[in-house]
């Protein structure tokens, strides 16, 4: 039990590492919270600085969900994997290293957790995200629809009930963090994702 608790606590700390803040600060000397949407997630970093920083941040955000969830499953079973993954996602959304302030919207980190808990379901959801994003160019809409699809994909591939429950809870969390995007989508003011960085940075 102690080992499980330490793993979950460590998962929160790992999830709290704000790579979307750290990489632009280290490489560009700028605060991403003052750029673009002000979000520290990979999507805003990519929009502002391009793939040179956006891709590494996205991969790191995926990894900080994948690693603790995988360790939890390997050493404690599905429930520990779910709790560790959830802790990493909470850390990403409310990182202790940013004073529990606003973090990212959990999409990449949730994807990493799903990859560890239900790899086939995660692969289907990734494909869905790519297709939707390519069709509409709204990262927020693609993320919301994909999040809604996750618990059904987990169920379809025979995941355990803790994993299906995780998928449902993750969907609720992702949608809650995108509520402002939903409002903008409804009013037609949500900006489409540009292939070129917002400031011309490759």
The DSSP letter of residue 103 is -
Which helix or strand (DSSP H or E) is residue 202 part of? Answer: none
Q: Cα–Cα distance between 45 and 82 in angstroms, integer?
A: 28
| Residue 143 contacts residue 107 (beta carbons within 8 Å) | yes
Q: Cα–Cα distance between 116 and 26 in angstroms, integer?
A: 30
CB atoms within 10 A of CB 70: 18
Render 3-48 in DSSP notation, one character per residue: HHHHHHHHHHHHHT--HHHHHHHHHH---GGGSTT---SHHHHHHH
pLDDT, the chain, mean: 92
Q: Cα–Cα distance between 140 and 136 in angstroms, integer?
A: 10
Distances 3 to 10, 32, 69, 75, 116 between C-alpha atoms, Å: 10, 36, 14, 9, 19
pLDDT in tens, 31-81: 999 998 889 999 999 989 999 999 999 999 999 999 999 999 999 999 999
Provide CB contacts within 8 A for 81, sequence distance 6+.
69, 70, 71, 72, 73, 116, 117, 163
| Across 192-198, average pLDDT | 60
Percent of the chain with pLDDT over 90: 86
In the predicted structure, residue 123 carries a pLDDT above the cut 90: yes
pLDDT at 201: 39
Q: Cα–Cα distance between 171 and 151 in angstroms, integer?
A: 8
């Amino acid at each position: 039990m102690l080992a499980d608790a330490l793993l979950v606590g460590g998962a929160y700390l790992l999830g709290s590492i704000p790579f979307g803040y750290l990489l632009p600060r280290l490489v560009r000397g700028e605060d991403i919270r003052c750029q673009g949407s002000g979000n520290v997630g990979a999507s805003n970093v990519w929009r502002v600085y391009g793939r040179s920083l956006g891709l590494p941040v996205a991969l790191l955000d995926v990894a900080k969900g994948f690693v603790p969830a995988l360790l939890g499953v390997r050493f404690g079973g599905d429930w520990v994997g779910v709790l560790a993954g959830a802790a990493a996602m909470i850390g990403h959304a409310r990182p202790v290293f940013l004073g529990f302030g606003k973090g990212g919207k959990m999409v990449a980190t949730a994807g990493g957790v799903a990859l560890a808990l239900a790899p086939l379901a995660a692969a289907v959801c990734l494909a869905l995200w790519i297709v939707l994003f390519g069709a509409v160019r709204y990262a927020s809409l693609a993320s919301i629809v994909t999040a809604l699809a996750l618990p059904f994909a987990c169920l379809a591939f025979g995941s355990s009930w803790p994993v299906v429950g995780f998928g449902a809870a993750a969907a609720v969390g992702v949608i809650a963090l995108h509520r402002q995007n939903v409002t903008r989508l409804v009013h037609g003011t949500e900006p489409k994702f540009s292939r070129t960085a917002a400031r011309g940075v490759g």
